[in-house]
Structure 1
Amino acid sequence: MNMKTRNIHFLFLFTALFFGFLSSCKKDNADIPVTTKPTIGTLEIGSDNNKTVKAGTDLHLEGDIIAEALIDKIEIEIHQDGGSFKFAKIYTDEKYVGKKNVTFHEHIDIPSEVPAGQYHFHFTVTDKAGNATTVESPLTIQGADAKVAFKLVFTEVDAHAHGDHFHDIADKSGVEPFSVSFDNNGKALGDGHAHLKPAGVYKIDFKQFDATGQEIQGQYIKDKATATLYKAFLTGGTFVLNSGNILTGAIFQPKEATYGDGSAVTGAIETTGITTYFTAGKDNAGEKEVAFVLRKFKDSATKATITRADWNRTDYVAKYPGDDIIRLSFELHAEEGED
């Protein structure tokens, strides 16, 4: 076979492989529909789909999404009708991206300073083929009843329950914190509900604000001597507590690492509860009326007598003399499917 013949055979072989590759690519791409837009089922906007939210609380959103070409991103935009306020958020969490069929369920914080009035709401799902579907709706934002004086911020984490405490606490990717806000009297603003997964573990950050909106909760743990007078409790709810034998009960674990002056918090007795970790546990599924309490003791020796198992005592007032200087009452909903 001469050189010319070899070159011709090689050209034919290369051409066949090339077009075979293109055909394979076309076949692979054909597996992803490029013209079928995502579909969005009935989208709940606000509590009971009332399309209303109060400034200083969070906006409930929930709806089913089907994306034949898989979800690439979910975008939310809220803009004022005839005004300048605008809010936008893009979700690219792994619990949504790359999925074909999901339930979108999020709670978006609406700042207390947002002006009351009529707004336009846009919810857009874009798939990996570039197709997009948008649901639009009017939205009413009501003025805040009062300035936010306190807030409990819940963030789901990875952790393992062990008796009355947690092991291996670590941040969890793809989660959005949510919060319950309170006025100066400790009354919850908005619906006052905390929606948790029964078996989920949540970091709870207690926040207190002065008249200018600055955080001031650090005053209770500015140093060891100050913190000795304070401890947080979660009262009410008649919880089944987690223990060595019951592995599906509740745990409330105060767990600051340092005082405000930078010195280390050592041991379970020293912790106060400005930062806590909590799980309701499967044995406590359902709705409970609870209160986050920060108690100031009459003497500095009291705190050393409080163990990790004492956080839900019904007799804590008599047992630990002092005053509840902060009491934040709210509903805790521990239900499967909650975020």
Structure 2
Amino acid sequence: MKTRNIHFLLLLTAIFFGFLSSCKKDNADVPVATKPEIGTLEIGSGNNKTVKAGEDLHLEGDIVAEALIDKIEIDIHQEGGTFKFAKVYTDEKYVGKKNVTFHEHIDIPSEVPAGQYHFHLTVTDKAGNTTSVESPLTIQASDVNVKASYKLIFTEVNGSVHGDHFHDLADKDNVEPSSIIFDNTGKAVAGHAHLKPDGIYKIDFKQFDATGQEIQGQYIKDKATATLYKAFLTGGAFILNSGNNLTGAIFQPKESTYGDGSAVTGAIETTGIRSYFTAGKDNAGEKEVVFVLRKFKDPATKATITRADWNRTDYAAKYPGEDIIRLSFELHAEEGED
């Protein structure tokens, strides 16, 4: 009996020291003295190191951390002023990784004073080593007072994906909408569309007259009028959602009533003054897209358009008429975006 106990004790001791030896070997594999490396970092569109207040700052660069990334920190402070901004990234797509492309868009509040700033990016690895890069940054005055001719408002909502449409759509609490403002040519002049790839967003289209009054209701004032109009979201070469696929894109026009109070019934009648959208994980990244409101020559045309036709490249030839509104913008569908 004593011999058996001694053998058991020796076995436990061997396992214990073997575990310590393994830990030491694993730790020895981490080059604790090797600092992270930060490749050329793009700051601003085209690396122009400039951003407008009220818009977003583009950042992109490669990071190599032999001891694996622990966190990435951004610090922006005003030269000769008091404004400061800081953000720490501990996302799964960065932490614990050795090689990553750091790609983020930082929203710069519209109230930030214009002027010269200093930008710092610091990478800390699991061994506590840090590497920083810094750069001058110019923040230009906000375009918040620019006169809007059109606007697209994106608001994240609850819902579920089903084939080419959504179920159980409902507003979310404590959600801050984001907007893109367009001039009278349809060019985006302020705001952005940064969306979670698998998020579902309500899109409200707004049009304004010379006095700033909303006039988009003219296209759905009654059923007879609305029969002539339909919204498309063109460009981007989206992979569409279909069947049981839950990772493709859906764009679903979905008003519930006309301007006269009568009900909009069925997918065919909807126009797109209000719509719902998800990019889906299959379409993660940046895309150039155009929101189009098309007026048809024949009111019977609208009834031939299905939910799968919203991103057709040949929509203009397929559905005779004219694009009365075209709003061009960049759509960023990236993890960690709001």
Are 1:232 and 1:254, in contact at CA under 8 Å, matched by a contact in 2?
Answer: no
Q: TM-score, normalised by structure 1?
A: 0.61
Give the AA of the match of 1:308.
R
Partner in structure 2 of residue 40 of structure 1: 38
Closer/same/farther in 2, CA of residues 33 and 143 from structure 1, 3 Å limit = same
Closer/same/farther in 2, CA of residues 161 and 44 from structure 1, 3 Å limit = farther
Q: Name the CA distance, whole Å, in 1 between partners of 2:265 and 2:86.
A: 42
Say yes or no: does 1:117 pair with 2:115.
Answer: yes
Unpaired stretches in structure 1, ≥5 consecutive residues: 170-177
Closer/same/farther in 2, CA of residues 42 and 240 from structure 1, 3 Å limit = closer
Are 2:291 and 2:327, in contact at CA under 8 Å, matched by a contact in 1?
Answer: yes
Q: Name the CA distance, whole Å, in 2 between partners of 1:252 and 1:145.
A: 31
Partner in structure 2 of residue 137 of structure 1: 135
Q: How does 1:1-339 map to 2 (within 5 A)?
A: 18-147=16-145, 149=148, 150-151=151-152, 165=164, 181-183=180-182, 185=184, 186-189=186-189, 205-206=202-203, 229=226, 233-234=231-232, 253-254=251-252, 267-269=266-268, 271=270, 272=272, 273-278=274-279, 291-293=290-292, 306-311=305-310, 313-314=315-316, 319=321, 327-330=326-329
Unpaired stretches in structure 2, ≥5 consecutive residues: 169-176, 258-262
1:113: how far off?
2.7
Give the AA of the match of 1:187.
K
Q: Name the CA distance, whole Å, in 2 between partners of 1:14 and 1:331.
A: 62
Closer/same/farther in 2, CA of residues 66 and 266 from structure 1, 3 Å limit = farther
Closer/same/farther in 2, CA of residues 82 and 17 from structure 1, 3 Å limit = same
1:241: how far off?
9.6
Are 1:188 and 1:329, in contact at CA under 8 Å, matched by a contact in 2?
Answer: yes
Are 2:57 and 2:105, in contact at CA under 8 Å, matched by a contact in 1?
Answer: yes
Deviations 1:273-310 (A, max 9, x none): 4322358x99xx9986x53145799xx99976653255
Q: Name the CA distance, whole Å, in 2 between partners of 1:305 and 1:8.
A: 85
Give the AA of the match of 2:23.
C
Are 1:181 and 1:189, in contact at CA under 8 Å, matched by a contact in 2?
Answer: yes
Give the AA of the match of 1:141.
I
Closer/same/farther in 2, CA of residues 23 and 238 from structure 1, 3 Å limit = closer
Closer/same/farther in 2, CA of residues 26 and 10 from structure 1, 3 Å limit = same
Closer/same/farther in 2, CA of residues 183 and 33 from structure 1, 3 Å limit = same
Closer/same/farther in 2, CA of residues 239 and 99 from structure 1, 3 Å limit = closer
Q: TM-score, normalised by structure 2?
A: 0.61
Q: Name the CA distance, whole Å, in 2 between partners of 1:308 and 1:10.
A: 70
1:39: how far off?
0.6
Partner in structure 2 of residue 172 of structure 1: none
Q: Name the CA distance, whole Å, in 2 between partners of 1:29 and 1:243.
A: 46
The secondary structure found in structure 2 opposite 1:314 is: helix
Are 1:146 and 1:183, in contact at CA under 8 Å, matched by a contact in 2?
Answer: no
Q: Name the CA distance, whole Å, in 2 between partners of 1:133 and 1:232.
A: 52
Closer/same/farther in 2, CA of residues 167 and 110 from structure 1, 3 Å limit = same
Question: What is the RMSD of the two structures over their aligned residues, measured on CA atoms?
Answer: 5.7
Closer/same/farther in 2, CA of residues 275 and 138 from structure 1, 3 Å limit = same
1:66: how far off?
0.3
1:161: how far off?
10
Q: Name the CA distance, whole Å, in 1 between partners of 2:85 and 2:33.
A: 30
